Structure 1
Amino acid sequence: MKVLFTIMPAPAHLYPIVPIAWALQCAGHEVRVASHPGIADAVVATGLTAVPLGPEVDLAASVRAAADNPELERITRALALDPADHNLRTALRYYLMAPFANYYRSGAPGPEGRPMVDALVDFTRDWRPDLVLWDPLFFPAPVAARACGAAHARLLWGLDHFGWARRRFVERLGLPDTEPHEDLMAAMMRPTLERFGQDFAEELLVGQWTVDPTPQRLRLPADLRYVPVRWVPYNGAAAVPPWLRERPERPRVCLTLGVSGRKFFADDDVPVAGLLDAVAGLDVELVATLDRDQLAASRVEVPANVRTVDYLPLNLLLPTCSAIVHHGGAGTFVAAAAHRVPQLIVPKEGGDFVDHARYAEELGAGIAVEREGLTGAGLAKQMMRLVEEPAFRRGAEALYADMLAAPGPDGLVPVLEKLTEEHRSRG
């Protein structure tokens, strides 16, 4: 069968699909990956076929624009979130809803969204995929799948905050004393749907089913059809440097701020400079994945026991590490879990970062620390606990065992084949 993946144009959205796409290709299926043009080279570098469509998109600008969107504010208010849960509100209001508003707006479709929806519909009608697996934030995909009669499902890369929020929004629509009284999300999509002769349906927001790599105990309560799969981490490919082929002489610790940290390092409040200074007298080797700009921003002399590298796939580095310090991003979290490495997480706000930190801490696989008031010395102290206390290694083993409960990508393939036959609408 023909399988089309559609993703947001960012490595953090590309890398989670790679092992599943490979599994489908190895089973004899034809696979392509569609997105905005900026991610095409990265797709090709993974060994997959890229389909660049529509205009370029500035993800950071779409998040900023979401701040002034009155429809998104009304939708968020209708969810009646706990006022104290700033992380969930930030994730929903700005990061998850921003792409939806970018592709669909009330009234006439906006100039940013319409070209991608049209381009994707044109492509699916021409190529005629049997199955579309879509990034949960790439909302043109289900419309394009419907236009060609393909089955379609969301492929998550983290907790299903959007699916949970959509179910909560629909439930609250039926309450007599709540606002709004209309489905604002359906209204935002309707002008585009009418152009393609489609009616609104829930599957346009949550898929006909959802492929979910999230461990069972971490999932959010949502009454949707989930198909579990084990998240096999992919971080890119590289040549193994000579120093990495040698056994480390002292405990090795990885420090990474993730892909987003490279772009927004100046605004990041992780005390990297203080940490580099604090590890100078410790019996560890710190491998810091910092580029030239990040090092310049740290304004500290790199100690002798700190090795800085511009980029190195975590799958190469982590098997040699005794601990990792990171921001809580899904890709980093899963890579550390897969290699059974204890984790020191300084979570960012506005996504799964806090959830991952709590999960690792609950299983004894790591330590979560708050950013407010954090110092480099304090971070180094917690880092050394991971290195020196055996209980964290046992917790990391428990976290790894939790991941193994779900089938791998090869086990997912026959399930997708069966569901595709059930859900595609063309003869």
Structure 2
Amino acid sequence: MFGHVNPILPLVLAARDAGHDVVVATGADVIAHLEARTEGRGVTTWTVGPSHREAGGGPGTNWLSYFAESARSRAADLVPRAVDWKPDLVVSEDTELAGPVAAAVTGARQVVHGIGIMPPIQVWGALGPILDELFERFGTSGDHRAATYLELCPPSLRRPPAGASAAERIWPDAVPLRPVAGAPAPGERLPAAVNALPYEQTVHVTLGTVFHDNRNVLHTAIAALSALPVNVVATVGPDVDPTGFGRQPAHVLLAPYLPHTLLLPRCAAVVSQGGAGIMFGTFAHGLPHLVLPQGGDQFMNAEAIELAGAGLALHPAEVTGAAVADGVTRLLEEPAFATAAATVRTELAAMPTAGAVLRALTS
């Protein structure tokens, strides 16, 4: 999934800039996206394991089962190629279980790359047995929890705020790493219509690239915000025709996708599903956030954002047009939200860069 690949790209590019040989292994449906963002940088890609849909991804997915089951076929593809390639360092994101096996089989150093808030240790009860099974299948063993963990989450958003004790974390050995939104692909631009929007303030609305199929939530949010004196820029999801949402007023712009690194600097607030990518991107610009969590880690993220005072959340049963309009109005008019969001932005800016962390990992 895009939200599991994009967070790792800064480290990938830092490794190439430092002269290392780099291979990125991922599902077939993310390869083109990955290659577009590493074009000309000498990054090799391997297609391994199932696509998102083949793995059962979609509305109503049991995500722990999704990560566990997809790891079996991914490991079958990845481990033999890793044995031939002989890596020194294997980096896998925190829901990916084939990478630890490849590291153990090849004797490489294992690093776990966070993609959001570190999952609670209770998740390990579901994923740990699958990893043990994979270790046994490939005739190896390992202590996954002893891996170095690259933690993208700033202190204000950790569970509980400011972090937990080592015993309460899946990975006690954690190193901070600043999350960075991916650069636009070559030639990517915002549509000219963005410059023609009439109001001073702009609100971005998105449900990301996994939960965008929940059209009712998007319809509700877009309709509610179109009644406010703000510009509304909504992304409705890959391969989705925006005309299916009906005719919109002049201050509402819909598109399948827009690069956040170009759009968010123009915004005053964000309404989203609360995935890690949009959460960190929003706070990197010091913007308050209304979260409409749909699944996965989004409920955890919504809680963290509210506890930090940097936004509000509406759970599925609470999402009405009036509630969305009221939430965004509060974010724009009550300065405490922007102040808390600015605090998170300062924390993010103080975290080490991918280049600095890479040097520490390879020294």
Report the TM-score range of the alignment, normalised by the length of the smaller protein. Answer: 0.7 to 0.9
Cα–Cα, structure 1 residues 318 and 363, in superposed 2: closer, same or farther, change >3 Å? same
Aligned to 2:323: 378
Q: CA deviation at 1:54?
A: 3.9
Cα–Cα, structure 1 residues 226 and 243, in superposed 2: closer, same or farther, change >3 Å? same
Select 2:251's aligned residue among 291, 295, 305. 305
Matches within 5 A, 1:179-328: 184-185=129-130, 188-189=133-134, 191-194=136-139, 198=140, 200-203=141-144, 206=145, 208-217=147-156, 218-219=158-159, 221-222=168-169, 224-234=172-182, 236-237=184-185, 238-244=188-194, 249-262=199-212, 264-266=213-215, 269-270=216-217, 272-290=218-236, 293=240, 295=242, 298=245, 300-328=246-274
Q: CA deviation at 1:101?
A: 3.2
Give the distance between the partners of 1:233 and 1:365, measured in 2 at CA.
19
Select 1:96's aligned residue among 45, 58, 64. 64
Q: CA deviation at 1:315?
A: 1.1
Note if contact 2:273-2:294 (Cα within 8 Å) is conserved in structure 1. Answer: yes
Note if contact 2:105-2:138 (Cα within 8 Å) is conserved in structure 1. Answer: no
Aligned to 1:139: 97
Give the distance between the partners of 1:212 and 1:154, measured in 2 at CA.
9
Select 1:149's aligned residue among 89, 100, 107. 107
Give the distance between the partners of 2:209 and 2:190, measured in 1 at CA.
20
Q: CA deviation at 1:154?
A: 0.9
Cα–Cα, structure 1 residues 12 and 187, in superposed 2: closer, same or farther, change >3 Å? closer
Q: Structure 2: which amino acid aligns with 1:215?
A: P
Note if contact 1:257-1:326 (Cα within 8 Å) is conserved in structure 2. Answer: yes
Q: Secondary structure, in 3 states, of the residue corresponding to 2:50? A: coil
Select 1:42's aligned residue among 33, 37, 40. 33
Q: Secondary structure, in 3 states, of the residue corresponding to 2:138? A: helix
Cα–Cα, structure 1 residues 297 and 261, in superposed 2: closer, same or farther, change >3 Å? farther
Cα–Cα, structure 1 residues 265 and 193, in superposed 2: closer, same or farther, change >3 Å? same
Give the distance between the partners of 1:294 and 1:240, measured in 2 at CA.
17
1:47-77 residue CA offsets vs partner (Å, 9 max, x unmatched): 162422445334574469xx9xxxxxxxxxx
Give the distance between the partners of 1:381 and 1:103, measured in 2 at CA.
42
Q: Structure 2: which amino acid aligns with 1:228?
A: P
Select 2:50's aligned residue among 43, 46, 56. 56
Per the normalisation by structure 1, the TM-score is 0.73
Q: CA deviation at 1:247?
A: 8.8
Give unpaired runs (5+ residues) of structure 2. none
Q: Secondary structure, in 3 states, of the residue corresponding to 2:189? A: coil
Confirm whether residue 366 of structure 1 aligns to residue 291 of structure 2: no
Note if contact 1:128-1:148 (Cα within 8 Å) is conserved in structure 2. Answer: yes
Cα–Cα, structure 1 residues 193 and 311, in superposed 2: closer, same or farther, change >3 Å? same
Q: CA deviation at 1:160?
A: 2.7
Q: CA deviation at 1:393?
A: 1.7
Q: Structure 2: which amino acid aligns with 1:257?
A: L
Q: Secondary structure, in 3 states, of the residue corresponding to 1:381? A: helix
Give unpaired runs (5+ residues) of structure 1. 1-9, 68-89, 105-112, 171-182, 419-427
Cα–Cα, structure 1 residues 258 and 201, in superposed 2: closer, same or farther, change >3 Å? same
Percent pairwise identity: 27
Aligned to 2:20: 29
Confirm whether residue 160 of structure 1 aligns to residue 118 of structure 2: yes
1:192-225 residue CA offsets vs partner (Å, 9 max, x unmatched): 133xxx2x3322xx46221111223504531621
Cα–Cα, structure 1 residues 46 and 379, in superposed 2: closer, same or farther, change >3 Å? same
Segment of structure 1 superposing worse, 141-150 or 214-223:
214-223
The number of residue pairs the alignment matches comes to: 347
Q: CA deviation at 1:15?
A: 0.5
Give the distance between the partners of 2:27 and 2:83, measured in 1 at CA.
18
Q: Structure 2: which amino acid aligns with 1:234?
A: G
The root-mean-square deviation of aligned C-alpha atoms, in Å, is 2.9
Cα–Cα, structure 1 residues 249 and 30, in superposed 2: closer, same or farther, change >3 Å? same
Give the distance between the partners of 2:122 and 2:260, measured in 1 at CA.
31
